[in-house]
Amino acid sequence: MRLLLCLAESAGEVVSVDDLLSRVWSGVIVTPDSVYQSVASLRRVLGDDPKQPTYIATVPRLGYRMVAAVSSWIDQPASTAVSGAASGITGGNFWDMGKPAPGSRRRAGVLLAGVSGLCFALIAALYLNGKVVNNHRAAAMPDVPPKSVAVLPFLDLTTQEMNEEYFADGMTEELIDRLSKIPGLRVPPPTSSFYFKGKRVEVNEIAKALGVAYLLDGSVRKSGATLRVAARLIRANDGYVVWSETYDRPLANELTIQDDIASEVTRALKASIH
């Protein structure tokens, strides 16, 4: 419901994922997956088709836009407003109805009842679908699978120009791909991991947001014709490093280096994650 209201307040405008995270999930560390899942839940409840949206349109690489007509409930005829509420059409600021016009108290009461019914129906539907997003720190967290690891974006420590950043990002994606193929090991997708790129967040907070027991991070450095890749495995509940290794390779075929190191790291983690 918070997401729906946020989009409705900016109807017709593109709202970025980062903006939605800061406004809807204020004070709570979550990944963009929370936005994607919540938008999908809203579309299911509203019967919206993402390919031909009536309510929420996806703007590739930018965010989402409310395409439905949004207006104040109190400015609409009573019959139209109630009909809209029954069919799931949302209005603007529900909590700020403004000063009622003379003789409109009854109509405002009817409108409020309609909006309340819509809110109740939407929230109930979200609960029934098991897709309500937890926005409170005090809420109980689900059990973290013991065999779960998130690969954080590797750092480029070569130069200030970060001319090996593309290699570091490729190393991260290669590791995610390899680890996700290990039976029984849960690995968040690149979109979740790369959300934390460049952000200063505590290890336990990242692990909580991604729902994992371990974090794998590392760095890339270059000296002359040699490339050094360092990797380490961190246990989330206490922050201790349970495994680390450094790999030196001649700078030749970078794709081969990524493949080689990813294979060695995967073999090592199989024995380290219990």
For the chain, which ranges sit under pLDDT 70? 72-142, 159-163, 274
Q: Which contacts qualify for 2-9: CB closer than 8 Å, 24 or more apart?
A: 2/135, 3/35, 3/38, 3/39, 3/42, 4/42, 4/90, 4/122, 5/90, 5/94, 7/56, 7/64, 7/65, 7/66, 8/66, 8/70, 8/90, 8/91, 8/92, 9/92, 9/93
Contact 81, 73 (CB under 8 A): yes
List the domain boundaries for the chain: 2-128, 149-272
Per-residue pLDDT, 122: 58
Q: Tell me the CATH architecture of domain 149-272.
A: 3-Layer(aba) Sandwich (3.40)
For 219, the enclosing helix (H) or strand (E) is: strand 214-223
Residue 90 is given by DSSP the state -
Q: For the chain, how big is the Rg over CA atoms in Å?
A: 24
Per-residue pLDDT, 234: 92
CATH topology of 2-128 equal to that of 149-272? no
Q: Does the 2-128 domain belong in CATH 1.10.3720.10?
A: no
